[in-house]
Structure 1
């Protein structure tokens, strides 16, 4: 399941959607990140949504299958991390991937819709208040272990491990936020 999760994660939704829709290569435009936020900037709303759904599913499917097979919570966390590592370091795309936010969300959404709803609401609130996709991700993943503790406490440790991976991937975003150099998801017109 770990290998399957990594291979699922290695399928880049941004690269596949950009090729199917004849859009610019997301690794050469925008933030150069092959993720949903950059595809929103490069290809528009439809491209961004398609990549978001694709990246969520490639995290959700392996973890959900493992969960249905009765794999222990610790190894569910390892499988989720493998899917995210596939997204971050995809073997099919020269080990140059995205931040892993949507894939991590998909991995955790397999826990249950109650958790996924609270997590999504937190991300949307932080995004709309700040205007930064990275702030939404950072705040959501900081709070994710606390949220999962309320719904399924046995999965707190795997979610905490996954959150640490995503937060570490956002270290450059955190530095840009402190320097005032991070790009907002939408720009205000003057």
Structure 2
């Protein structure tokens, strides 16, 4: 593995470790998303705790955390396998952040950002999938899980050489949603429109 590859993997993890949900919550004087609501430091929980503006900021920053290191690696013409490792490192940083006690989110937005260099077609299909599922069910987690499951299929028809890397990312995201899957089965998962009381 080249020095550039190692550098980008490390940079991706360190940038991914910047928890935008915690930072934005502090800026907007919101409850700590790791302790309140769903206790997940992500855009959906911030939406419930603080509304649209902070949630959008968290979403955009989380996407950028995945996009920037992968795009830079792509620009450096690093091999596909390295691009996959860089994407995974960014998601690992988000889920297990070095600066925030290794307690992070599910990395859906970060993984989405990491997939953007593959093409806008893939991004459009994933967003469309998420929107349709959320519109029909109200469950953001189900939309994310469905889009994640279909991402390798979409990738295969767009740029098949990236399919193994996308499969790796998809498996990680599904594993991070294992508790959501259990709640969905038990019909205990809150919809995106429900606000949880800010109590421990």
> Are residue 138 (structure 1) and residue 145 (structure 2) matched?
yes
Aligned to 1:89: 96
Q: What are the ranges of 5 or more consecutive residues in structure 1 without an aligned counterpart?
A: none
> Are residue 41 (structure 1) and residue 57 (structure 2) matched?
no
Q: Name the SS for the 1:110 alignment partner.
A: helix
> Are residue 173 (structure 1) and residue 180 (structure 2) matched?
yes
Q: Which of 9, 30, 33 matches 2:37?
A: 30
| In 2, Cα distance between equivalents of 1:94 and 1:187 | 28
Q: Which of 107, 113, 120 matches 2:114?
A: 107
* 1:152 Cα deviation after fit: 0.8
Deviates most, 22-31 or 78-87: 22-31
Q: Name the SS for the 2:118 alignment partner.
A: coil
Q: Which of 121, 126, 143 matches 1:119?
A: 126
Q: Which of 126, 135, 139 matches 1:128?
A: 135
Q: What are the ranges of 5 or more consecutive residues in structure 2 without an aligned counterpart?
A: 1-7, 196-200
TM-score, L = length of structure 2: 0.92
Residue pair 2:48, 2:194 contacting (<8 A) in 1 also:
no
Aligned to 2:160: 153
1:122–1:75 distance in 2 versus 1, CA, 3 Å: same
| In 2, Cα distance between equivalents of 1:169 and 1:126 | 19
* 1:42 Cα deviation after fit: 0.5
Q: CA RMSD in A?
A: 1.1
| In 1, Cα distance between equivalents of 2:14 and 2:117 | 18
After TM superposition, the runs of 4+ consecutive aligned structure 1 residues lying more than 6 A away are none
Aligned to 1:50: 57
Specify which structure has the bigger relative contact order, considering alpha-carbon pairs within 8 angstroms and separated by 6 or more residues. Answer: 2
Give the paired residue count. 188
Aligned to 1:8: 15
* 1:20 Cα deviation after fit: 1.3
> Are residue 186 (structure 1) and residue 193 (structure 2) matched?
yes
Q: Name the SS for the 1:46 alignment partner.
A: helix
